[in-house]
Amino acid sequence: MSTCQRMLIGALLALAGATTATPALACGEVMYRMGGALRYQAFVSRHPAHVMLYSHGASARATAAARSDLQRRLEQSGHTVTITEDEASLRQALAAQPYDIVITHADNLSLVRSVLDQAPHAAALIPIAAGADSAALRQHYPQVLPADASANRFLKGIERTMQARGS
């Protein structure tokens, strides 16, 4: 085979390879083309917050296990969480250090609001409500969580509240 023939065959192979090559995909682009990206199990908050969970009465008894799991998930994402179950511990905790967010059930709102009004530091209030109560509460509070909210829903509500506060 002559040098000219070798060069011609090489050029044809290069041309065939260039015209039949698949486009290079960016890292992770394959996952988007398949219909969804990988879900990351660990969520790290962009705006870590000091969060107080206040529950009193029936809401405290009904959700002890769920509250413990929620506390663990919030702390894993970077938030500092304090749980209080009575008015005295609520007042003491709010006086001792500033909190960014207080989360409580709708039936505790009047008590928590009155305590927050007397606290030395302002905190955002996120109520937990069920059904028709949540629609009425949305007029007064930007974030209202449903009673059956998942930990991810809590994380999203906290993140949005912290963004709105500019923290």
Regarding whether 7 and 82 lie in a shared domain, the answer is: no
Regarding whether 133 and 69 lie in a shared domain, the answer is: yes
Looking at the whole model, is its pTM more than 0.85?
A: no
pLDDT digit string (tens) for 127-163?
A: 998 777 788 888 889 999 998 888 899 999 999 999 9
Regarding whether 82 and 149 lie in a shared domain, the answer is: yes
Regarding whether 90 and 19 lie in a shared domain, the answer is: no
pLDDT digit string (tens) for 55-92?
A: 876 555 556 777 888 899 999 999 999 999 999 999 99
37 touches 85 (CB < 8 A): no
Regarding whether 63 and 21 lie in a shared domain, the answer is: no
- In SS3 terms, 92-129 reads as HHHHHCCCCEEEEEHHHHHHHHHHHHHCCCCCEEEEEE
Long-range CB contacts (within 8 A, 24+) of 130-138: 130/106, 133/106, 137/106
Residue closest to 33 by CA, chosen among 22, 41, 42, 17: 22
Residue 44 lies in a domain: no
